[in-house]
Amino acid sequence: MYYVPGSKIILRGIHGEFRSGQLTAILGPSGAGKSTLLNVLAGYRVEGAGGHVYTNGEPRDLRQFRKLSRYIMQEDLLQPYITVREAMAIAADLKLGAAITGREKIVVVDEIIQLLMLNKAKDTTTERLSGGERKRLSIALELLNNPPVIFLDEPTTGLDEVASSMCVSLLKRVARGGRTVVCSVHTPSARLFAHFDHVYVVADGRCAYHGAAAGVVPFLRRLRLPCPTTHNPADFIIDVSCGEYGPQADKMVAAIENGRSHQWRDYAVADSAQELELEQLNSSGVETCNLKHGSTSWRQFRVLFFSTNKQLISLNNHFVNFVTIEVNYCLTFQGYIWLRVCLHLCLGLITGLLFQNMGYDASKTLFNFGFCYACLIAMMYIPMMPVLLAFPREVQLIKREYFNRWYGLKAYYAALVVSRTPATIFFSLIYLALIYPITSQPLELSRILMFSTISITVALISESMGTAISSTLSIVNSVFLGPVLSVPLMLLAVYGYGSGDQPLPFIWRIVRSSSYLRYGMEGLIAAIYGERKEDLVCPDDKDYCKYKSIVTFLRLMGMSGVSFWFDFGVLVVILLLMNFLGYYLLRQRLSPNYAYRSIKIIGNYVKTKMSMSHQ
């Protein structure tokens, strides 16, 4: 039984059996519970599910079963801008680890590519593959470490008849290798239906048929529901189960005893000779299958890090660039990196020209203060927005790879942070290299390094903040929440300036200290004006410059006691905390604990009650 809180019972006491060496199709009308049943069987979503699932006659250990099975979801999410061969090689490194040599991995990859008929596309990048090729590649990636159980959610959706037939035929060959292959199918053609060994029909959350594909027509005939000769048996049984021929679903459920009856299980099943087209990659079998990840955490980190490098090299025609996993998320066209370079150049020129030669001008000291604030805004928004736009979609790919035991989350998140940092630094330096000299800031090496360090640290925090937000929310909500949260941070960054050294109320000091932009602002001012004893230059055309004295200016702004190293230290701590928050939220998104699930259930309940009150 499967129950959704605040909704309805979706699965109602169903029974069934799925055997190894056979290809099983789960059929049923829309909303009958096909995908829910598949999710429960795969262990993908088990909250709200009751009853028992057995494997080899023993109660299923869900933790162990997840490590043995693989779930190929409906949407073919693949890493972009790498070829089929490169995608297979990366997956082989992650799944097979150091247990076999690189030469053996190449042999395994080539065998699976040949089996799934991807030879002609092995040097094609994933975004240029056809729908059928993308589906076959998704299957190939999960076959590398020889999983004994494979689940697929509507593998033929979006494919034409030829591609669908090829896909199902390949799945049948995979099943003949001794695997249990279960897939949900919406409306298979008669040609496709004939490929399945076993059919499980779901109607209104109950089992309406459970047996061989060849037994569908005789089963319906026994219930005095003869299938027309020219009618597709799959379409006919779905039409019957959804009430097109009257209320027959209850009769079907009773006849099959809601899945308990095995009368039609072996009806006219052809001898499934072991067609071992697919080599046993792990000859040890299920009993001695490795329940841990295929590679160590350090190896996972290396593979994930260098796979990003491989993506960028392929993208830019082998033009060596800084490695960043963020580009892996945000890339939507080949000129993305150059677009981002041009963006930083343009913003740098605009900002520099707006504040040109104000660094030493005593009559423009307040404007130079505004220049520091403008730098912070740029360092906040530019790194954050691409992550808010792209990472929510990347999370869907991570969910598939993490659920299928490609890698551990710690290794992935470490590779994410380490690989995107050089690019953030590089793009930030492009911006800073323009604005700093154009605005005539102090050309002392120590001050240049201090200014750059604070700016880059703010950019890294903003990027991590974007990751934390988008690891939990959808694209729409992320893009909304990110800028909205930035507004109070920007306001608190400058709150209280101009009031001198007079202390603010305690509550406002606490609130103000929550903005990392505040520490960034103090750090930039300390980098430019800190420990400077000489006065600024008052232009000849000005009779009087009020803020010529740096000491007076800092006292007026309430920043006479700021310390660069204190502000930098706080920013580093905030950066570490923000990365930890992003990791924690992503982990809860992928495998929520009890407290997180409880909060989600309460939130759904409140949302349901609110929606009912508005009706």
- Residue-number span of the structural domain to which 250 is assigned: 2-78+148-259
The per-residue pLDDT for 283 is: 37
Give the global pTM: 0.77
| Same domain for 235 and 186 | yes
Confidence at 155, pLDDT banded by 50, 70, 90: confident
267 belongs to a structural domain: no
The residue count of the chain comes to 615
In contact, 328 and 79? CB cutoff 8 Å: yes
| Same domain for 170 and 95 | no
327 belongs to a structural domain: yes
DSSP structure class, residue 145: T
133 belongs to a structural domain: no
The per-residue pLDDT for 432 is: 94
The per-residue pLDDT for 372 is: 92
Q: Looking at residues 294-308, what average pLDDT do you find?
A: 59
- Strand 206-212 relative to strand 198-203: parallel, antiparallel, unpaired? antiparallel
Cα 211 to its chain centre, rounded Å, is 37
Convert the pLDDT of each residue in 36-52 to its tens digit. Answer: 888 888 888 777 677 78
The per-residue pLDDT for 329 is: 39
Structure-block tokens of residue 551: 């000491």
Q: Looking at residues 99-106, what average pLDDT do you find?
A: 80
Q: Which helix (H) or strand (E) covers residue 40, if one does?
A: helix 34-42
The per-residue pLDDT for 126 is: 85
Going from the C-alpha of 560 to that of each of 361, 494, 510, 526, the distances in angstroms are 20, 15, 19, 9
| Same domain for 528 and 417 | yes
Here the CATH number for the domain that contains residue 69 is: 3.40.50.300
56 belongs to a structural domain: yes
| Same domain for 73 and 86 | no
Q: Virtual CA dihedral for 426, 430, 436, 439, nearest 10 degrees?
A: -160
Confidence at 317, pLDDT banded by 50, 70, 90: very low
| Same domain for 376 and 312 | yes
| Same domain for 584 and 463 | yes
| Same domain for 348 and 238 | no
DSSP assignment string, 260-289: T--TTTTTT-------TTS--SSTTTTTT-
Q: Looking at residues 553-569, what average pLDDT do you find?
A: 86
Distance CA 285, CA 149 (A): 12
**What are the two backbone dihedrals, phi and then psi, of residue 201, each rounded to the nearest 5 degrees?**
-100, 130
136 belongs to a structural domain: no
34 belongs to a structural domain: yes
**3-state DSSP of 517-548:** HHHHHHHHHHHHHCCCCCCCECCCCCCCCCCC
| Same domain for 85 and 230 | no
Convert the pLDDT of each residue in 9-28 to its tens digit. Answer: 778 888 888 988 889 999 98
323 pLDDT exceeds 80? no
Confidence at 305, pLDDT banded by 50, 70, 90: low
| Same domain for 181 and 33 | yes
Give the domain-ending residue among 199, 225, 259. Answer: 259
- Strand 23-27 relative to strand 149-153: parallel, antiparallel, unpaired? unpaired
Confidence at 325, pLDDT banded by 50, 70, 90: very low
Structure-block tokens of residue 300: 């996972």
The per-residue pLDDT for 615 is: 53
| Same domain for 163 and 112 | no
Lowest mean pLDDT among 131-135, 456-460, 490-494: 131-135
Confidence at 311, pLDDT banded by 50, 70, 90: very low
For residue 432, the one-letter residue type is: L
SS3 450: helix
Lowest mean pLDDT among 30-34, 289-293, 548-552: 289-293
| Same domain for 61 and 95 | no
Lowest mean pLDDT among 214-228, 281-295, 496-510, 572-586: 281-295
In contact, 545 and 537? CB cutoff 8 Å: no
* Structural domains of the chain, count: 3
The per-residue pLDDT for 279 is: 41
614 belongs to a structural domain: no
Give the domain-ending residue among 205, 226, 259. Answer: 259
269 belongs to a structural domain: no
| Same domain for 50 and 24 | yes
78 pLDDT exceeds 90? no
In contact, 171 and 117? CB cutoff 8 Å: no
For CA atoms 361, 362, 367, 371, give the dihedral sign. positive
Confidence at 303, pLDDT banded by 50, 70, 90: low
319 pLDDT exceeds 70? no
